[in-house]
Amino acid sequence: MEKNFSLRELNTFGFDVKVKYFQEIKSLEDVYVLIENQYFKQHRDSNNFLILSGGSNILFKDDFYDGFVIYPNFKGIETIEENDDHIIIRCFGGEVWKDFVDYTVSRNLYGLENLSDIPGKVGAAPVQNIGAYGAEVKDVINQVHTIDLSSGEIKIFTNEECHFSYRNSIFKELKVKRGALSEREAAIGFYPLIFAVDFVLKKNGELKLDYGNIRNNLISKNITNPTIQDVAISVKEIRKEKLPEVGIVGSAGSFFQNAIVSMDKYLELKTSYPEMPSYPVNESEVKIPTGWLIDKAGWKGYRENHVGVWDRQALVLVHYGGGKPLEIIELMNKIQISVKERFGIEIKPEVNIVPDRISSRT
């Protein structure tokens, strides 16, 4: 266990945040040791701990986190089942997401190509049901392997038990209380740490080309009959054009969630802004790209001291280096107020802001 550990290399915003206690976990044996650790027990029981994976979707509010960070780093990739139709691959949580996607693409397996180059690690992918270019990871997850940080019990969640929805799952709760668990487990509280994910990938599938610029990108290269590799390359090129490069410019990808509004609200806005892009959610709700709202409100490319709004995708807040997390929080507040005033929509962060309450240095 490390004390007063710097998370600078472990958050893609690149803030120099320190944490009181830090523990890397590489095996189930490490978990059994952890759950007997008195410092960990204290922090778990006061819900003052955090499971940190690739650090690509997190913002620490302060430059000191007065809690306990667990850093799971389980490695390995195994084939579990294979037939003429599909293959089930178990990937351990500490593997780098984009390397795992490249591996499946190189094996001509369908399902993850649209999710190429997303930063982060495999264990975090189910937590917020990562998605991009018309695909979501929930569509290829078979099951999720977890270990309870209070009892050490292993629980496997089927796809259905994960309760996936847009950028959400049961694992977003630190302590799983409802849903998939039995009453006994719910009563004692189950703290699921994801250590492996099983993916079911097709040997003959369909490519998703209809989202955004994928088709145009392929046409511009005269590709009429694309392979899985072609789609993965297109996605990487489109991402490069729009998003800041991880490790070069600090960011956590989309900072806000896209807005889901009522049909009435949508029709009202559409009258004032006929060019507004939107996607149907169901009969009564419509999704509006928050990037468009922020852009339209005039924030794209805005910069203030060490932080700003990315000039090619307004959904992304960036840290140019040398700044403090508070600067991002202040920028977030200003943008939220401005979008609310202009469109009457309350936009919510997609990034996990830690801690929920203000911590103090002890």
Known catalytic membership, residue 350: yes
3-state secondary structure (DSSP) of residue 34: helix
Q: Could you say which of 10, 214, 314, 332 contacts ligand EPU (CB under 6 A)?
A: 314
Least distance (Å) between residue 296 CB and ligand EPU? 7
Report strand pairing: 259-262 vs 285-288. Answer: antiparallel
Helix (H, G, I), strand (E, B) or coil at 216: helix
**Minimum CB distance to ligand EPU, residue 266 (Å):** 15
Tokens standing for residue 253: 């990808």
Which residues, 213 to 242, sit near ligand EPU by CB under 6 A? Answer: 242
Alpha-carbon distance of 40 to 345, in angstroms, equals 40
Judged by CB under 6 A, does residue 277 bind ligand EPU? yes
Minimum CB distance to ligand EPU smaller for 3 or for 342: 342
Residue 343 beta carbon to ligand EPU: minimum distance, rounded to whole angstroms: 13
Q: How far apart are CA 270 and CA 286, in angstroms?
A: 11
Q: How many CB atoms within 10 Å of residue 217?
A: 20
Closest CA to 65 of 5, 137, 143, 125: 5
Looking at 193, 313, 319, 328, which residue binds ligand EPU (CB under 6 A)? 313
Given a contact cutoff of 8 angstroms between Cβ atoms, the answer to whether 333 and 61 are in contact is: no
Cα separation, 328 vs 17, in Å, equals: 14
Bridge partners for 18 per DSSP = 6, 64
Judged by beta carbon, residue 22 or residue 255, the one nearer ligand EPU is: 255
The reply to whether 357 belongs to the active site is no
String marking each residue 134-173 x if it binds ligand EPU according to CB under 6 A: ----------------------------------------
Nearer Cβ to ligand EPU (237/295): 295
Number of helices (H), then strands (E), belonging to the chain: the values are 9, 20
Size of the site for ligand EPU (CB under 6 A): 19
Site string (101-140) toward ligand EPU, x via CB under 6 A:
-------------------------------xx-------
Please name the residue that has the structure tokens 């002890």.
362
> Residue 98 has which token pair?
């984009």
Rg (CA), the chain: 21
258 is a contact residue toward ligand EPU (CB under 6 A): yes
Distances (CA, A) of 229 to 99, 136, 193: 14, 18, 32
> What CA–CA distance (Å, rounded) separates 237 from 245?
12
CB nearer to ligand EPU: pick between 72 and 120: 120
Alpha helices (runs of H) in 96-166, residue ranges in sequence order: 97-106
One symbol per residue from 283 to 312: x for binding ligand EPU (CB under 6 A), - otherwise; what is it? ------x-xx--x----x------------
Q: How far is the CB of 140 from ligand EPU (least distance, A)?
A: 16
- C-alpha distances (whole Å) from 147 to each of 125, 196, 341 are 16, 10, 45
Exactly one of 315, 318, 332, 354 binds ligand EPU (CB under 6 A); that residue is 315
Among 11, 116, 254, 359, binds ligand EPU (CB under 6 A): 254
Position 266 contacts ligand EPU (CB under 6 A) = no
Between 36 and 206, CB nearer to ligand EPU:
206
Q: Annotated catalytic residue: which of 95, 167, 234, 359?
A: 167
Distance of closest approach, residue 222 Cβ to ligand EPU, in angstroms? 24
DSSP state of 233: H
Place of tokens 């690739």: 54
**Residues within window 52-71 making contact with ligand EPU, judged by CB under 6 A:** none
List contacts with ligand EPU (CB under 6 A): 132-133, 212, 242-243, 253-254, 257-258, 277, 289, 291-292, 295, 300, 313-315, 350
Which residues are designated catalytic? 167, 254, 350
